Amino acid sequence: MKIAIAQLNFRIADFEGNLNLMKNAITEAERDEVDLIVFSELAVCGYPPLDLLEQRDFIDKCTDSIQILAGCTSKVAVIVGAPVINPNEKGKKLYNAAFLLSDLNIEAVRYKTLLPTYDIFDEYRYFEKNFEFKIVQFRGINIALTICEDIWDDQPVENTFSRTRLYTDSPMDFLIRQHPDIMINISASPFAANRLNAREEVLRQNVAKYRIPLFYCNQVGANTELIFDGSSMVLRPDGSIADRFTPFEEEVRIYVLENLMNPPEAGATETETNLSEEYRIEMMHKALVFGIKDYFRKMGFQRAVLGLSGGMDSALTLVLAAEALGVENVIAIMMPSRYSSDHSITDSVKLAENLGINCRLVKVDPVMDSFLGQLIPEFGGLPEDVTEENLQARIRGVILMALANKMNMIVLNTSNKSEAAVGYGTLYGDMNGGLSVLGDVYKTDVYAIARYINRIAEIIPYNILLKAPSAELRPGQKDSDSLPEYDVLDPILYQYIEMKDTLNAIISSGFQKEVVERVISLVNRSEYKRFQTPPILRVSSKAFGLGRRMPIVARY
């Protein structure tokens, strides 16, 4: 029996486009005499559809898509995910379902049991839990058909305040009693650079326990802040990995089931998972480029504009945007003020020349002087403070938004996760934009990605990597005037945000009590700022936005 896995990039609510992707894959599968082709979770509508699931017309189009796909199965059977209406009078309106389509019919439907309600997931908001377990039979093969989280009942511990067993039930424990020959799991599992081995660990764990092959089909594609890397896999009964898909790429691969039932041939070696620091940075780089590219493509935009300050964050954002969109579609705006250093201009110009980017200059001082002329009488003789600094940042924000409006572009926000965490940014100024590229990248990783980009040749001028970070909003200003050094700040932030460690636990790991208290206070007090930022490309297991829901008005 030939089984194909289709790792494809679906667009949310693009029913025609998603159907065409699957139809093309089915046509190719027919030519290769495939028996069964597998698509990912909620493939007909894209994942995550969020509150579109509350609209009856949306669900009707999902139902229609399933019927159309069934009409394409005269030669090749299909497994595909879609929402389906719960036929019972009680419970949530919908199930998250996996369909087996064959011989022009709907042969079987299975429902998702484990509905994640953590981090970016909120599936119990929409779906009813499954309570009935039954294998799927297809041409003499018994299939344990599961949906994403259904095989994550026992998962790696992410932090000190989490459990490995999040659920009381294990769907596979019920299904294995019916003696399935293989497991098929359709998934929509997002990318996280700090958990590169977690997914593989879960898959191996399932195969080790149940001793049958596992076909794992994950979607690829970026949907707003969520980036799905695909990385689909096939595992043999002995737990060895028969194949891994290329991350961040659409692929269809075919397997002969009988060849997977036995251990690999003598002398065959399995490629080990690369968990090196360099690989983590490489994957972050790929994810960010992919996230930008897919966001613009799916939003219908082609061009981006950003402020180029001569600093590290804007330099990296420019390089990533150029790689994602093409240099002809990216415009960099230098906006120096009286506080900008000469090297901020020269470094920016050199970077733009290295990339072949259109770089323009718009001066801030004339606008600043005009604003102050109007506002100084209203300030009533009060001394200069952060107000004047913020005013410069907001002028720059207005300039960028005006250019974006006039030329049908998206402003790329250049703030990093370290700054966003502690509120080191200006609302409606350097925190504005249509997409935050580095909002889930700590400053130390910003430098690491820049060094990775420069590994072969100097693209980002070395002076940008070497000079002290500064907002340049007052004479001689440095980030370290207001914040701990980033090699101290970032580990504290990681422990507090990703690991959810307590203040005492962070202190006990070797940091000064006063520093930790101040950092945590800044994080907690800055929630109102983060609430108003653009969507952030998620490349970690705990990004600001959908995955970290904190009250704005709180005393903790």
Q: Are 357 and 322 in contact (CB under 8 A)?
A: yes
**Closest of 163, 158, 198 to residue 499, by C-alpha:** 158
Residues 6+ apart with CB under 8 A from 475: 339
CA distance 141 to 134: 13
CA distance 492 to 508: 11
Q: Are 10 and 187 in contact (CB under 8 A)?
A: no
From the list 45, 62, 112, 128, the catalytic residue is: 112
Q: What residue spans of 91-197 are helical by DSSP H?
A: 171-175
CA distance 286 to 323: 10
Q: Are 541 and 518 in contact (CB under 8 A)?
A: no
**Closest of 534, 546, 509, 322 to residue 420, by C-alpha:** 534
Tell me the DSSP string of 340-375.
Answer: --HHHHHHHHHHHHHHT-EEEE--SHHHHHHHHHHH
From the list 41, 225, 323, 419, the catalytic residue is: 41
Which residues are registered as beta bridge partners of 69? none
Q: Are 220 and 249 in contact (CB under 8 A)?
A: yes
Q: Are 311 and 469 in contact (CB under 8 A)?
A: yes
Q: What's the count of helices (H) and strands (E) in the chain, helices before strands?
A: 17, 19
Is 148 among the residues known to form the active site? yes
Which amino acid makes up residue 225? E
Q: Are 342 and 316 in contact (CB under 8 A)?
A: no
* H/E segment holding residue 334: strand 330-334
Are β-strands 241-244 and 233-235 bridged in parallel, bridged antiparallel, or unpaired? antiparallel
499 three-state secondary structure: coil
* H/E segment holding residue 77: strand 77-85
CA distance 511 to 489: 10
From the list 148, 298, 417, 419, the catalytic residue is: 148
CA distance 304 to 434: 10
CA distance 434 to 410: 6
- Residues catalogued as catalytic: 41, 112, 148
